Amino acid sequence: MSSTTTYSGKTYTFNHGVHPKEFKELSSHCQIQRMPFVDEYTLPLGQHIGAPSKALVSKGDKVKRGQKIAEAGGFVSVALHSPVDGVVSEIGLFDYPNGMALPGIKIKTDPYSTQRMEEAPIDLESLDTKGFISAVQDAGIVGLGGAAFPSHVKFAVPEGKECKYIMLNGCECEPFLTADHRVMVEHPEEIIDGILILNKYLNAEKAYIGIEANKPDAIEALKAVASTSDFPIEVVALQVKYPQGAEKMMITAILGKEVPSGKLPLDLGVLVANVGTIKALSNYFRKGQPLIERVVTITGTAIKNPANILVPIGTQMKEVIELCGGVTNDAARILLGGPMMGAVQKSLDVPVVKGTSGILILGKNEVKDIEEYSCIRCGKCVDACPLFLNPSMMGLLAKKGLWDEMLEYNIMDCFECASCSFVCPSGIPLVQSFRVAKGFLREKAAREKEEST
Amino acid sequence: MINISKKLSVSTAPFLKDKDTTPKIMMTVVYTLIPIVLVSIFYFGLGALLVTLTAVLSCLFTEWLFNKPDNRLKSLKDGSGLITGLLLALTLPPGFPLWMVFIGGMIAIGMGKAMWGGLGQNVFNPALLGRAFLQSAFPTAITTWSPPDGRYFELRGTNAAFPFFQGKNIDTITSATPLAKMKFDHLPTDIMDLLLGATGGSLGETCAILLLFAGIYLLVKKIINWRIPLSIILTVTVFSGTFYLLNPEIYPSPVFMILSGGMLLGTVYMATDLVTSPLTPKGMWIFGIGIGILIVLIRNWGGLPEGVMYAILLMNAATPLINRFTKIRTYGHKK
Ligand code: SF4
Ligand code: SF4
């Protein structure tokens, strides 16, 4: 599809899906660069899915790099750490990437500190499963693929369920993004080590690492390290196709099984985690470094120097963009995450948070108004939907406001991958209307539940 | 340095879009129709040209008439009205009165499309619906065939008939279509003539070879799905072939069946109409097989020599039902 090289061995995949232009060549060759320390960091307390963290510091407190500054606010919540040696300068409301102002902690960097962090490995031998789970929570680790779901919750396999396969997601199927790609190429040892640490507590039969075939260097790098491990770790090359990196699609590609509707991967004995998340696990247990930084892809057709940057959490996006030479005159849109599922961002005066996988600056060429025509029932959306839904039909029903009828077409299974809208020649906002419909139906179900109790 | 906030454009994902657009798809279909129209002009001269122009104008005019002012330009731009006009013309005899052509176009768009709520909502193929109306309203005119004799600059048959009159046929000879010869006299037509189109018939029903090429092109471009044409042709071959083997004296051969009349025009352009055919693979097979069986039934035993139009219209009517019964199994759901 693109000019980048492709893995030549056997590849696997799921049915349906689409082939958007990749744009990976903009940044896939860029080595991960470390972001220099800046004067100030803004750390929202609710960067993850679940309850916000609870601040442990107050204004004027001195903090060390890696020090816990907020604790988990419940089980589905994680701790938060300072990315620098410095002083808490403010506790208040700060602009968050989704457009809201959220409570957070501002830290002023100590200009005289070397910012060196003592390595303090954690003794795995003394930890039982429960201890491991709370250690992961304490390390502030969340899913780095973009969802920012607390990882320890995933790792806590409930009674009666069993994790047979650990599956690492290195697909990175969203166009433009290359952060996971670089992490796999540059840190394969830490990823494999992370698997081994996790498996100490999960006792799985086998681990898989799913990688799209457009990252042959990542496949080779991980294969080389995986072959030295006693625990069976198979690196599986997957066809370049969107949404290959969706949990369900990757499981189907690798195991040939479907995740039953309404069930979790764990019901098939599978635990899926992003490669960056597993690397963070290794960093914590081997060096004592909690999640205070992450790799972010800064790319797009309107950024001067695309790059993959290791950014301390809390750095203002503006400063990261400046490091990349700024934007071109052509810049027309900022996106957080990939272009298929990401969100528009209005301003760059917000911090990089744990869920920031990429900052995209798109040029005018990629920002065109799409003219909408009637549905011509070409069936392209039907052939695109990885879940075999009928977006054409659901789109017609949505247009008429027949939400309840959409339930019969399994609208609630839709995971909003946007493949349908991508292919529709009539430019119908299919997934856009499904989001609205799902929200409405969810609310209605909640209301009905409340009324009946 | 960073000054993008002023003209920032805001909407929701996805922010990438595939290249195909509906007007582009429709125009590709139009391009494949142009050679077919040219060949019909080659055989039937001015008559064919005037019938085509009248049908197209009538369809576009009706499209414009039935749309709300703010939607008019867009409805013309999507190209579907143009296709209907061209297809309708291709189903008509070259000597057909132009005023009747005009009415056919109005019926095609008005009753075939606008009445249902516009493009995408209609159940029947608009061009065929227009043609069906003309067939029942003007049964004589629509079965008066002018021969392909290279009279380029003359009007044919009743082209110039005054509105609301049948008009006097100015052709000295008329020509029976291969299908009529077969049906009523059991006379076959030379295969070569069928392939090249040197036979009597509607504008677009004559040159089989061109229709085959157009069909293949549209298949390669993935504008039409292969399942429908294949299932129609297979069904017609097997079904009519069985009778041909039983009694070649009475029943036409499958090759004749496929190359004659509206079979290829209907298979390539009308049965594959995206709007009025099923969405699912299984549904497409049912649809195609149904059309194939109906064509053979009507042609061999019906009162008419040609059955393609009614076969497709009948299966159009069944399409909503077929769609309902061939729902695709959602991922992660039981069969
Ligand atoms: S892709 Fe668009 S035009 Fe085609 S069937 Fe789906 S909704 Fe209709
Ligand atoms: S957004 Fe939903 S309906 Fe559209 S392709 Fe993805 S899963 Fe299917």
How would DSSP label each residue in B76-131?
Answer: HHTSHHHHHHHHHHHTS-TT--HHHHHHHHHHHHHTTTGGGTSTTT-SS-HHHHHH
pLDDT of residue A169: 97
* B119-165 confidence digits (pLDDT tens): 888 999 999 999 999 998 888 888 777 776 666 666 766 676 666 66
Say whether B275 and A377 touch across the interface (CB within 8 A).
yes
Residue B78 within any structural domain of the chain:
yes
Same structural domain, A28 and A95: no
Same structural domain, B141 and B190: no
Same structural domain, B159 and B202: no
Whole-number percent of chain B with pLDDT over 90: 46
Same structural domain, B167 and B303: no
Q: Which of B231, B220, B329, B211 is nearest to B277 (CA)?
A: B231
Contacts across the A-B interface (CB distance below 8 Å): 159
Say whether B331 and A388 touch across the interface (CB within 8 A).
yes
Same structural domain, B33 and B154: yes
User: Residue A21: its chain B contacts at CB < 8 A?
Assistant: 16
Same structural domain, B25 and B124: yes
Question: Is-contact A404 A444, C-beta < 8 A?
Answer: no
Same structural domain, B208 and B128: no
Same structural domain, A358 and A313: yes
Chain centroid to CA A167: 15
Residue A117 within any structural domain of the chain:
no
Say whether B332 and A371 touch across the interface (CB within 8 A).
no
For residue B279, give the chain A residue with the closest CA: A379
Same structural domain, B237 and B189: yes
pLDDT band, very low/low/confident/very high, at B107 (cuts 50, 70, 90) = very high
Closest atom of ligand 1 relative to the A395 alpha carbon: 7
Say whether B332 and A361 touch across the interface (CB within 8 A).
no
pLDDT of residue B7: 45
Same structural domain, B42 and B99: yes
Same structural domain, A160 and A267: yes
CATH number for position A96: 2.40.50.100
Give yes or no for B70 touching A (CB within 8 A): no
For residue B21, give the chain A residue with the closest CA: A425
- Which of these ranges, A365-369, A416-420, B5-9, B52-56, has the smallest mean pLDDT? B5-9
Across the range B204-210, mean pLDDT stands at 80
Say which ligand is closest to the CA of B121.
Answer: 1
* B220-245 confidence digits (pLDDT tens): 998 999 999 999 999 999 999 999 99
> Taking all residues of chain B, what is their mean pLDDT, rounded to a whole number?
85
Query: In angstroms, what separates the C-alpha of A321 from chain B's closest C-alpha?
Result: 9
For residue A347, give the chain B residue with the closest CA: B5
Same structural domain, A364 and A403: no
Closest atom of ligand 2 relative to the A430 alpha carbon: 4
Say whether A435 and B12 touch across the interface (CB within 8 A).
yes
E-strand stretches of A131-257: 165-170, 206-212, 233-238
**What's the CA gap between A29 and A23, in Å, rounded?**
12
Q: In testing the pocket of ligand 1, which one of A381, A400, A423 has its CB within 8 Å of the most ligand atoms?
A: A381
Say whether B21 and A333 touch across the interface (CB within 8 A).
no
* B156-196 confidence digits (pLDDT tens): 666 766 666 666 665 555 666 777 766 666 666 777 677 76
Same structural domain, A65 and A208: no
**What's the CA gap between A378 and A380, in Å, rounded?**
6
CATH number for position A204: 3.40.50.11540
Chain centroid to CA B96: 17
Domain boundary among B175, B204, B224: B175
Across the range B302-308, mean pLDDT stands at 78
Domain boundary among A368, A401, A426: A368
Domain boundary among B131, B159, B175: B175
The count of structural domains within chain B is: 2
Same structural domain, A73 and A165: no
Q: In testing the pocket of ligand 1, which one of A389, A392, A421 has its CB within 8 Å of the most ligand atoms?
A: A392
Query: In angstroms, what separates the C-alpha of A65 from chain B's closest C-alpha?
Result: 30
Residue A431 backbone class (left: φ over 0; alpha: ψ -120 to 50; beta: rest): alpha
Same structural domain, A241 and A356: yes
Ligand 2, atom 8, lies closest to the CA of: A385
Say whether A370 and B17 touch across the interface (CB within 8 A).
yes
Task: Give the range of the structural domain holding residue A444, as residue numbers without chain letter.
Answer: 380-452
Same structural domain, B114 and B228: no
* B291-301 confidence digits (pLDDT tens): 999 999 998 88
Say whether A339 and B14 touch across the interface (CB within 8 A).
yes
Across the range B194-220, mean pLDDT stands at 82
The count of structural domains within chain A is: 3
Domain boundary among B175, B199, B225: B175
The one-letter amino acid at A126? S
User: Residue A322: its chain B contacts at CB < 8 A?
Assistant: 1-2
Same structural domain, B71 and B96: yes
Same structural domain, A64 and A97: yes
Distances, alpha carbon B295 to alpha carbons B261, B305, B308, in Å: 11, 10, 5
Within the 153-192 window of chain B, which residues sit less than 8 Å (CB to CB) from chain A? none
The residue ranking higher by pLDDT, A1 or B314, is B314
pLDDT of residue B186: 67
pLDDT band, very low/low/confident/very high, at B6 (cuts 50, 70, 90) = very low
Torsion sign over Cα B124, B128, B133, B135: negative
Residue found by looking up tokens 């070649």 in the block: B248
Across the range B97-110, mean pLDDT stands at 94
Q: Which of A344, A424, A432 sits opposite B10 (nearest CB)?
A: A344
Give distance in angstroms: CA of B13 to centre of ligand 1: 17
- Cα distance between the two ends of chain A: 55
pLDDT of residue B1: 41
Domain boundary among A53, A86, A109: A109
pLDDT of residue B3: 47
Same structural domain, A84 and A140: no
Task: Give the range of the structural domain holding residue B24, as residue numbers without chain letter.
Answer: 20-175
Residue B1 within any structural domain of the chain:
no
Ligand 1, atom 4, lies closest to the CA of: A378
pLDDT of residue B241: 92
pLDDT band, very low/low/confident/very high, at B2 (cuts 50, 70, 90) = very low
Query: In angstroms, what separates the C-alpha of B17 from chain A's closest C-alpha?
Result: 5
pLDDT band, very low/low/confident/very high, at B197 (cuts 50, 70, 90) = low
Same structural domain, A216 and A303: yes
Q: What is the 8-class DSSP label of residue A86?
A: E
In this structure, the residues whose C-beta lies within 6 A of any atom of ligand 2 are A 384-385, 387, 389, 391, 414-420, 430-431, 434
pLDDT of residue B187: 67
pLDDT of residue B171: 58
The one-letter amino acid at A38? V
Give distance in angstroms: CA of A300 to centre of ligand 2: 25
Within the 95-124 window of chain B, which residues sit less than 8 Å (CB to CB) from chain A? 118-121
Domain boundary among A51, A83, A109: A109
Largest CA distance in chain B: 86
Residue B334 within any structural domain of the chain:
no
Residue A176 within any structural domain of the chain:
yes
- pTM recorded for the entire structure: 0.88
Question: Is-contact A2 A22, C-beta < 8 A?
Answer: yes
User: ipTM of this model?
Assistant: 0.85
pLDDT band, very low/low/confident/very high, at B78 (cuts 50, 70, 90) = confident
Q: Which of A11, A8, A14, A18 is nearest to A418 (CA)?
A: A18
Same structural domain, B193 and B316: yes
Ligand 1, atom 5, lies closest to the CA of: A377
Same structural domain, A240 and A252: yes
Say whether A410 and B330 touch across the interface (CB within 8 A).
yes
Query: In angstroms, what separates the C-alpha of A177 from chain B's closest C-alpha?
Result: 14
Residue A284 within any structural domain of the chain:
yes
SS3 state at B23: helix
Residue A115 within any structural domain of the chain:
no
pLDDT tens series, chain A, 453 aa: 444 578 888 899 999 999 999 999 999 999 999 999 999 999 999 999 999 999 999 999 999 999 999 999 999 999 999 999 999 999 999 999 888 899 999 999 999 999 998 888 998 888 999 999 999 999 999 999 878 999 999 999 998 899 999 999 999 999 999 999 999 999 999 999 999 999 999 999 999 999 999 999 999 999 999 999 999 999 999 999 999 999 999 999 999 999 999 999 999 999 999 999 999 999 999 999 999 999 999 999 999 999 999 999 999 999 999 999 999 988 989 999 999 999 999 889 999 999 999 999 999 888 777 888 989 988 899 999 999 999 999 999 999 889 999 999 999 999 999 999 999 999 999 999 999 999 999 999 888 888 876
Query: In angstroms, what separates the C-alpha of A380 from chain B's closest C-alpha?
Result: 9
Give yes or no for B53 touching A (CB within 8 A): no
Residue B57 within any structural domain of the chain:
yes
pLDDT of residue B183: 67
Residue A408 within any structural domain of the chain:
yes
User: Residue B11: its chain A contacts at CB < 8 A?
Assistant: 344
User: Residue A248: its chain B contacts at CB < 8 A?
Assistant: 331-332
Residue found by looking up tokens 């399409």 in the block: B319
Q: Which of A307, A273, A277 is nearest to A291 (CA)?
A: A277
pLDDT of residue A317: 96
**What's the CA gap between B148 and A239, in Å, rounded?**
55
pLDDT of residue A302: 93
pLDDT of residue B301: 85
Same structural domain, B203 and B120: no
